[in-house]
Structure 1
């Protein structure tokens, strides 16, 4: 999966470096709108006349590292236990050289894989449910909730915005709207984060669409009204993580959202997608809800009569194809996976 920029154990975007020519060529200027059709890619937490709040780039894919890490750690731990049992307690055998090889070579490898699986789990579990970004239209400040729990505040007009590109083992290349915080020299990248991510299936043109959604909110005179109509009439859903953890229903919806147009694919891929949904629920359940510092909240006060307030409470009703079909796929997929594991345990591979 695409975990580019994840700061757990220093897997992050490269910083303390000069801007590249490719970044300069693909720059998005704050005052320059896009002619592409606007799309928000299910990334908005809440919106009003003062600010818009977005989820991070890893939110939509959360769950994969959890279930895959558990699978790797569990399988490797079983292997390590078998090796130790065979060496110390198995019936006497003439294959002592093979047993020594297992203890000296295979056991460290198994224990190393246990650690790798635990490392994957910790990238999602026991952290924060998401890492929000708040773009304040009135103060023209951007607040970014870092992965260590601190908050970066930087002026919107000072951000260097460009097309970010990363490598994914599934889709080869992925793209995001990358925000660079530059040094005083205007050349050196000191910090980077993603303002928008169109999922694994997104392409470079998807970022034009996201910019067409986001830029008017911060720059256009009627930007708040346009954003409100887009979210209310075209999207219909805001991410339900405002001061709370998402419920299991939304974990199902979000997990399958990228494949919503292909129900047949959701069923075929249900063993993986189903496990991903379960991993997502576990990651959300074990993580903390992020909270903005008091000074950020103080700058984000709403007018009592603001007509453009939107939160997850204003969402459309979740329908059959958004929830119940994916729920069936999850049950079928997890059941199929457990059935295969049970078959292997009873009858062997």
Structure 2
């Protein structure tokens, strides 16, 4: 999973630096289209003749930090409990030096592991459900909801768009559609955010996403083309609301919809991710655009190109019920294994 940087923007997206030659070579030019097959990758919240709302880079993989952090925190908590129990209640009378070592050395380590797990959980719980972006084709402004709740507004034509590359131990190399806000010199990166990402973050996926996004902002028939493309897809149920538990399950398993047995084989991590996603969404705030942004993005009452999650069709067997079965089996298996291990330790 690619989670580097959800809370460390300047680590994942380094700023106050010059553009690299690699970024210049991989630039996407606003006026240049792409011949790849257009794909939205379940990235759109709503669309109309004026603007399109997109989810942020970390929305597709939400939930991982919750269950991964919970496992780490549980490991630290178990260590704390074992050390305290051994020091005060274990039937050991001739190993006090070892017990003092556990108390002085191992207990702080266990506390640190527990604190790290809680910190990882906190990167998703009690934050925002997502960090939306709004691209207005009429005003040609881009509004980006930052992780601290503030909003960046920048002209679309001033963005330096490129193929972003990131590396992490868990996911390897991933790619996203990176947007750089440059200083007046035109070569120093002042701020960066990601306009598009899909899990897994394949390089050619961004060509497909650009082929979807670029016409909306640049082509005369862009609204019609985008509307027709999204009629074949699903829009994210995030407009002034949290996603429900059904959608948390669907969105977690969505990358494997064409591989049902792979879903089942990966039911433990994906099931835990779905549950973690539910917890993250239920404890997080719904982002609200400032009034000045809403006023700058009016929608005509008779706009024929309005699409929201309310226009989605129902989720079917392979979209919801099979992932639900995989979630129940995965979480149940995980809990059963943990219970078996714990019971064995106490014998």
Fold match (TM-score > 0.5): yes
**Change over 3 Å in CA distance of 1:80–1:11 after alignment to 2:** farther
Structure 1: stretches of 5+ with no match in the other structure = none
**Does 1:164 find its partner at 2:164?**
yes
Query: Under a length normalisation based on structure 2, what TM-score does the superposition of the two structures give?
Result: 0.97
Q: 1:52 to 1:9 in 2, by over 3 A?
A: closer
Deviations for 1:303-344, whole angstroms, at most 9, x for unmatched residues? 111110000000011110000000000000000001001111
- Post-superposition offset of 1:105: 2.0
Cα drift, residue 243 of structure 1: 0.4
Q: What SS is found at the alignment partner of 2:173?
A: strand
Number of equivalences:
346
Distance, in Å, in 2 between the alignment partners of 1:280 and 1:11 is: 24
* C-alpha distance in structure 1 between counterparts of 2:29 and 2:337, whole Å: 52
- The alignment partner of 2:329 has SS state of helix
* Alpha-carbon shift at residue 261 of structure 1 (Å): 1.3
> Aligned partners of 1:165 and 1:347: how far apart in 2?
45
The root-mean-square deviation of aligned C-alpha atoms, in Å, is 1.3
Match of 2:250 in 1: 253
Deviation at residue 10 of structure 1 after TM alignment: 5.8
- Tell me the residue number matched to 1:285: 282
Q: 1:70 Cα deviation (Å)?
A: 1.1
CA distance in 2, matches of 1:274, 1:280: 10
Aligned partner of 2:224 in structure 1 is: 225
CA distance in 2, matches of 1:324, 1:252: 9
For residues 342 and 256 of structure 1, the distance between their equivalents in structure 2, rounded to whole angstroms, comes to: 26
Distance in 1 separating the partners of 2:135 and 2:73: 39
How far is the alpha carbon of 1:109 from its aligned partner?
1.1
* 1:120 aligned partner: 120
Q: Distance in 1 between matches of 2:199 and 2:159?
A: 23
Post-superposition shift, 1:107?
Answer: 1.0
Deviation at 1:203, TM superposition (A): 1.6
Identify the residue that residue 342 of structure 2 maps to in structure 1.
345
Structure-2 change in CA distance of 1:95 and 1:10 (3 Å): farther
Residue 98 of structure 1 corresponds to 98
Give the alignment of 1:182-201 within 5 angstroms: 182-200=182-200
Q: Give the match's secondary structure for 2:60.
A: coil
Alignment CA distance shift 1:58-1:9 (3 Å): closer
Comparing 117-126 with 67-76, greater Cα deviation is found at 67-76
**C-alpha distance in structure 2 between counterparts of 1:61 and 1:327, whole Å:** 17
Cα displacement (A) at 1:92: 3.9
SS in 1 for 2:152: strand
Aligned to 1:262: 259
TM-score (norm 1): 0.97
Q: Residues of 2 paired with 1:88 and 1:171: CA distance?
A: 43
CA change 1:195–1:76 in 2 (3 A) is same
Do structure 1's residue 36 and structure 2's residue 36 form an aligned pair? yes
The corresponding residue for 1:300 is: 297
Contact 1:8 1:123 in 2 (8 A): no
- Larger displacement relative to structure 2 (257-266 or 156-165): 257-266
Note the residue ranges of structure 2 that are not aligned, 5 or more in a row: none
Query: Is residue 2:293 matched to residue 1:319?
Result: no
